């Protein structure tokens, strides 16, 4: 009887959200937000509520306030950024994650949450063919994954130089130099700042026209630096999708005793596809890898993985232990040993569910399909006068420039963005890269197949004809 009362008090709001969620995911909603910041503030805003209100009405109000500010990254046609679409099975598992309300801090808080992560971690290492003994932290995304990996790197290179980071922190430590590509993703610089590295400790290595770090320059620069060293390479450049020359870079890192980290927010997933795996040649020789679950694997936000070859260094950097956080001999792994948080969401359930629903083969098909679509689009657009595909399309990214002798190319890219977005069927954004304004095309949403891409190619051609005249 008591249980019935509890059920009635929580169920209507949940039922309303679930019912709405199913409808929302099946509707063709606008891809871009339709309300301005001011309008959204007005819908969400107002004074602090003095009195509570009915929960179902709150959910109805949340829906009407949020909807005009929602962006369509769960739908095909969204090409603006490398963002995943929260696959239905991932959302279902994520709903359960909320319903169960588990705290994935330590094993005993939620043996199920800890075990789902432990098992999913093993599956990830297997599918991505990374060292099976590596440790995996389930974090909020690639930025935090990079932070975790680089924290492990910092402790380890200092330990090798005879400095005890745990005891002395950064006080009196030898200067560490971190080598990043001059075109590294901004999140790596942010993670380094969180870890106590300023711009004077970061050496920016020149890169080629695809954003790939030049190994010769790296070697020269490392030769000139004293003290412990960390190298940050990239698998899947944010604009071009390019991969660094990992074998070469790993050789250099070895010569200088450096820790090699790879930011592979989305590029790592090429390893799941047999015919694309060669793009990542030598990547498995690194010491750590940061990647996203919420991009290509379509895990609902937030999901990222910090993968470290040296589990001890990983654990030393992140460990949270205290006597009240009980551990017993038969316990499984404690999630908090491998991430920056103690109490947190049980991120492993959705990852486990998606990997189980796709299987190794399904993951490969997902990535393969997007890369094939990107190549098809590149071939199609490459034939159109005035459009240049600026990158070598090896993954899922295209960057386009537009040229017409009467008009400014930067303005043309923006005009194309506006015109392409106008009918609401697609959503693009431009980015400044190599000093030019370029239209980015990221192909990562589930359902973006070759047929959809052929239609898109025809649309870009049609719109280009109107924009250039
Ligand atoms: C190459 C690369 N590294 C890191 C990140 C940061 O990932 P997140 O936004 O999941 O923290 C991104 C995001 O787009 C990226 O493309």
Tens digit of each residue's pLDDT (9 = 90 or more) over 277-294: 999 999 999 999 999 999
- Would you give per-residue pLDDT tens digits along the chain (469 residues)? 455 555 555 689 999 999 999 999 988 888 999 999 999 999 999 889 999 999 999 999 999 999 999 999 998 899 999 999 999 999 999 999 999 999 999 999 999 999 999 999 999 999 999 999 999 999 999 999 999 999 999 999 999 999 999 999 999 999 999 999 999 999 999 999 999 999 999 999 999 999 999 999 999 999 999 999 999 999 999 999 999 999 999 999 999 999 999 999 999 999 999 999 999 999 999 999 999 999 999 999 999 999 999 999 999 999 888 888 888 889 999 999 999 999 999 999 999 999 999 999 999 999 999 999 999 999 999 999 999 999 999 999 999 999 998 899 999 999 999 999 999 999 999 999 999 999 999 999 888 888 899 999 999 999 999 999 7
Residue 231 backbone dihedrals phi, psi, to 5 degrees: -115, 135
Q: Would you say the CB of residue 187 lies under 6 angstroms from ligand 1?
A: yes
**What is the Cα–Cα distance from 453 to 376, expressed in whole angstroms?**
7
Q: Would you say the CB of residue 265 lies under 6 angstroms from ligand 1?
A: yes
Q: Would you say the CB of residue 306 lies under 6 angstroms from ligand 1?
A: no
Closest CA to 279 of 237, 253, 244, 240: 244
Domain 94-355, CATH number (from 3.10.180.10, 3.40.50.720, 3.40.640.10, 1.10.10.10): 3.40.640.10
Helix segments in 282-338, DSSP class H: 311-318
140, 185, 239, best to mutate for ligand 1 pocket (most atoms within 8 Å of CB): 185
78, 138, 141, best to mutate for ligand 1 pocket (most atoms within 8 Å of CB): 141
Instruction: Using CB atoms within 10 Å of the CB of residue 293, give its burial: 0 to 12 exposed, 13 to 18 middle, 19+ buried.
Output: buried
Looking up tokens 């994935």 gives 104
Q: Which atom of ligand 1 is nearest to the CA of 264?
A: 1
Angle at 262 between CA 279 and CA 441, to 5 degrees: 60
In 3-state terms, what secondary structure has residue 394?
coil
**What is the Cα–Cα distance from 122 to 363, expressed in whole angstroms?**
15
**What is the Cα–Cα distance from 156 to 70, expressed in whole angstroms?**
43
Tokens found for residue 298: 């379509």
Q: Which atom of ligand 1 is nearest to the CA of 263?
A: 3
- Please tell me the residue having the least CA distance from ligand 1 atom 15: 265
Sign, CA dihedral 185-211-273-83, equals positive
**What is the Cα–Cα distance from 172 to 163, expressed in whole angstroms?**
8
Instruction: Using CB atoms within 10 Å of the CB of residue 427, give its burial: 0 to 12 exposed, 13 to 18 middle, 19+ buried.
Output: buried
Q: Which residue ranges make up each domain of the chain? A: 2-70, 94-355
Distance of CA 296 to the CA centre of its chain: 8
């Amino acid at each position: 009887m008591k249980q019935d009362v509890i059920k009635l008090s929580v169920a209507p709001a949940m039922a309303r959200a679930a019912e709405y969620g199913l409808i929302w995911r099946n509707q063709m909603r606008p891809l871009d937000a339709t309300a301005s910041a001011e309008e959204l503030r007005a819908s969400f805003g107002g004074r602090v509520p003095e009195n509570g209100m009915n929960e179902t009405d709150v959910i109805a109000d949340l829906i009407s306030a949020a909807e005009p500010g929602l962006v369509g990254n769960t739908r095909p046609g969204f090409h603006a950024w490398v963002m995943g679409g929260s696959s239905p099975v991932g959302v279902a598992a994520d709903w359960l994650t909320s319903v169960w309300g588990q705290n994935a801090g330590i094993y005993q808080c939620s043996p199920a949450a800890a075990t789902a992560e432990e098992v999913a971690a093993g599956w990830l290492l297997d599918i991505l063919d990374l060292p099976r003994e590596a440790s995996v932290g389930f974090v909020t995304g690639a930025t935090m994954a990079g932070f975790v990996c680089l924290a492990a790197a910092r402790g380890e290179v200092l330990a090798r130089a005879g400095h005890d980071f745990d005891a002395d922190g950064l006080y009196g430590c030898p200067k560490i130099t971190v080598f990043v590509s001059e075109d590294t993703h901004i999140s790596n610089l942010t993670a380094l700042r969180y870890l106590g590295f300023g711009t004077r400790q970061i050496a920016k290595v020149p890169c080629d026209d695809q954003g790939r770090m030049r190994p010769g320059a790296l070697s020269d620069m490392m030769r000139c630096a004293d003290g412990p060293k960390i190298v940050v390479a990239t698998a899947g450049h944010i604009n071009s999708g390019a991969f660094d020359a990992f074998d070469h870079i790993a050789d250099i890192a070895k010569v200088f005793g450096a820790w090699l980290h790879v930011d592979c927010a989305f590029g790592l997933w090429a390893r799941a596809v047999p015919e694309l795996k060669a793009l990542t040649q030598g990547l498995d020789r690194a010491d750590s890898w940061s990647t996203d679950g919420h991009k290509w694997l379509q895990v609902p936000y937030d999901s990222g993985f910090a993968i470290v070859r040296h589990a001890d260094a990983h654990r030393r950097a992140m460990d949270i232990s205290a006597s009240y956080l009980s551990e017993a001999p038969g316990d499984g792994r404690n999630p908090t040993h491998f991430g920056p948080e103690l109490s947190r969401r049980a991120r492993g359930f959705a990852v486990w569910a998606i990997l189980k629903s796709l299987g190794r083969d399904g993951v490969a098909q997902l990535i393969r399909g997007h890369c094939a679509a990107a190549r098809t689009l590149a071939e199609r657009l490459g034939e159109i006068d005035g459009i240049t595909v600026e990158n070598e399309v090896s993954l899922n990214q295209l960057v386009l420039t537009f040229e017409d002798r009467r008009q400014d190319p930067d303005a043309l890219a923006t005009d194309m963005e506006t015109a392409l977005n106008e009918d609401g069927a697609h959503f693009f954004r431009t980015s400044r890269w190599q000093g030019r304004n370029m239209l980015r095309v990221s192909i990562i949403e589930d359902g973006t197949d070759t047929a959809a891409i052929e239609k898109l190619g025809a649309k870009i051609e049609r719109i280009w004809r109107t924009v250039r005249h």
